[in-house]
Amino acid sequence: MKTYRLTIFEKDGAKKLDHSFEAGSDEEAKTYGLQLLQKQASEEKIYRCTSSEGKLLLFHS
């Protein structure tokens, strides 16, 4: 399992969510990240999801 981090920002730069989670693959992490974005109603906010190796999996600005 690898560790991933999903961070969601407000327009003013304040963090709305900073969440670490584990997933078995990058694809599983993307799926989980998108589900969490939907649950938080944050698909249109600024966000990024990265792996512990620094790989950018999801990004919206």
The ranges assigned to domains in the chain are 2-60
- Name the residue type at position 59: F
pLDDT of residue 17: 96
- Given a contact cutoff of 8 angstroms between Cβ atoms, the answer to whether 25 and 4 are in contact is no
pLDDT of residue 28: 98
User: What pLDDT is stored for residue 27 in this prediction?
Assistant: 97
Task: Provide φ and ψ at 50, rounded to 5°.
Answer: -125, 155
Instruction: Give the pLDDT confidence of 32-56 residue by residue, as tens digits.
Output: 999 999 999 999 999 999 999 999 9
Terminal Cα-to-Cα distance of the chain (whole angstroms): 28
Which helix (DSSP H) or strand (DSSP E) does residue 37 occupy? helix 26-39
**pTM metric for this prediction:** 0.91
| 7 band by pLDDT with thresholds 50, 70 and 90 | very high
**What's the rounded mean pLDDT across residues 11-17?**
95
